[in-house]
Structure 1
């Protein structure tokens, strides 16, 4: 397996022998990596992985050829690097949303959220049917006095609410009501996947809600800050299909005979696994004086 990124200086490829119940790392393998038909590097194992030093750019066609035990076992795969999305603008506002799974005294519970309206544009050089992945990282810094000392608490979360966004719900925006038994297993978008088919004239406005979580912003804090990192990854169709299936597998109920068994896609010739290189764009926000909201 290798799910790499263009701006990552620690890209790795993993080779394993597969068995009936477990896998074994390949430590004597050799990997030839080609970019646009030219050999870029020859890679040998470092511990249980194969470090990649090549620099990847938009439009590159990358191919790997792996072998082990003097050529007894061989596998290969290739991918193309898509152009990154463009983040045109990010607007923020504070809103209150109902928690459809919580009631207190017979009344619904409402939580505070920071809503992000993200304006995206698809590059003209890309085909209209392309695939993307969203990742949001929040880091909370909370200062408070404890035993006469200034104490700093740092908490990190990757959680966000996407249920009101059309692309991230794959065309089915709604709310978080648990409607009970379903003939078709509900799909949760654990990896922030979406497709460009929801763009209009190559543009799209995405709606994300970040909960103002009191578990991270302590109620007795003198000062609290939140740093938000937004990353959009342009990915291949193979990576999209792979992560889509993995999302289904995470929720698969082995005791429910109605639900279909998730099938994990593969784009390796001569083996099984996934080979992909994502191209990213990022945007950062800082929210100050978070403690004033409690």
Structure 2
């Protein structure tokens, strides 16, 4: 009897193995040829936008060597571009400097073509309407606990107004700019240099946390990691057609310049961007990838949105409004 059971068990394993093998899907590189990867997050208020072009690969992206980019605005050719020169020796990244001026409502089409005519990818984007001016920003320095450590943070109460009768997608950027003067020994002159920091804390804000605010206790328990809104994206579903005051924090100490003491010029530029729906979901995906809450070994692969035809990638265009806060003496 034991021998019969053992035989049946071995037969079952053999059958399962056979079925498993028959259902395997063969992979062939020939069936998955490279595609053009076109990526650009364009600010309509800037004339120094850059588009990146690559090829897909089996394990990583590969470089494009000979290609051109055409930019059309409302059906009219605005510029034809060749790749920028390498930034450093051995730099193979294919970049294009887009200098066309875009205004809200423009329909922008960007085509990328390889010189051999084998690859052609394109994207079409309507420039979003400019967000309303930031109505008011109230600031105060308060002690804040983060990972069991309490120190002073600057709290910002930012009052914004939604554009009426449309679905809107936004991005908040807290651009902390620190400028110092360095002595150049080669020229014998003082030169200014500026470093940007973009980190801010939005854990208490309903909109920026998708209705799931947290506090220091949630961070300190270490049991449940939450997705942090690193890229500051949000939609208007919680304040449609009305105003809203969001709450964020950042530090105004002189990180990166400890040797200069308080001899640093610091500005906080609060930037509110109106972005496309595709860019909104793309940056939300990046929030998940860059968060401790995502583990690629146990979570499902993330599907990135793409608006590129004939290839993959994303081309987004944004408009913005901003306010500057001057920090006289950085807080320690």
Q: Shorter chain as normaliser: what TM range?
A: 0.7 to 0.9
Compare 164-173 and 200-209 and name the one that shifted more: 200-209
User: What are the equivalent positions in structure 2 for 1:181-200 lying under 5 Å apart?
Assistant: 181-182=223-224, 186-200=226-240
- Aligned mates of 1:224, 1:14 — CA distance in 2: 34
Paired residue for 2:187? none
Residues 215 and 5 of structure 1: CA distance in aligned 2, closer, same or farther (over 3 Å): closer
Residues 268 and 116 of structure 1: CA distance in aligned 2, closer, same or farther (over 3 Å): same
Paired residue for 1:147? none
The offset of 1:211, in angstroms, is 2.6
Instruction: From the CA coordinates, give the structure whose radius of gyration is larger.
Output: 2
- Runs (4+) of structure 1 exceeding 4 A deviation are 140-143, 152-156, 214-225
- Aligned mates of 1:71, 1:115 — CA distance in 2: 54
TM-score, normalised by the number of residues in structure 1: 0.81
Q: Is the 8 A contact 1:4 1:277 kept in 2?
A: yes
- Aligned mates of 1:201, 1:283 — CA distance in 2: 22
The offset of 1:195, in angstroms, is 0.8
Residues 70 and 181 of structure 1: CA distance in aligned 2, closer, same or farther (over 3 Å): same
- Kindly indicate which of the two structures has a greater share of residues assigned to helix: 2
Paired residue for 1:32? 70
Residues 137 and 71 of structure 1: CA distance in aligned 2, closer, same or farther (over 3 Å): same
Residues 224 and 16 of structure 1: CA distance in aligned 2, closer, same or farther (over 3 Å): closer
TM-score, normalised by the number of residues in structure 2: 0.73
Q: Equivalent of 1:84, from 130, 143, 146?
A: 130
Residue aligned with 2:237, SS: helix
- Aligned mates of 2:73, 2:260 — CA distance in 1: 55
Residue aligned with 1:21, SS: coil
Q: Is the 8 A contact 2:153 2:249 kept in 1?
A: yes
1:110 counterpart = 2:150: yes
Q: Is the 8 A contact 2:204 2:215 kept in 1?
A: yes
Paired residue for 2:108? 62
The offset of 1:279, in angstroms, is 0.9
Compare 66-75 and 158-167 and name the one that shifted more: 66-75
Unaligned runs of 5+ in 1: 103-108, 144-151
Residues 73 and 121 of structure 1: CA distance in aligned 2, closer, same or farther (over 3 Å): same
The offset of 1:140, in angstroms, is 4.4
Q: Is the 8 A contact 1:142 1:218 kept in 2?
A: no
Q: Is the 8 A contact 1:224 1:288 kept in 2?
A: no
Residues 221 and 130 of structure 1: CA distance in aligned 2, closer, same or farther (over 3 Å): same
The offset of 1:162, in angstroms, is 0.9
Paired residue for 1:132? 170
1:276 counterpart = 2:316: yes
1:231 counterpart = 2:271: yes
- Across the aligned residues of Structure 1 and Structure 2, the Cα RMSD in angstroms comes to 2.8
Q: Is the 8 A contact 2:199 2:230 kept in 1?
A: no
User: What are the equivalent positions in structure 2 for 1:1-294 lying under 5 Å apart?
Assistant: 1-47=39-85, 48-85=94-131, 86-99=133-146, 101-102=147-148, 109-124=149-164, 127-140=165-178, 156-176=196-216, 177-178=218-219, 179-182=221-224, 186-213=226-253, 221=261, 226-251=266-291, 252-255=294-297, 257=298, 259-290=299-330
The offset of 1:220, in angstroms, is 9.8
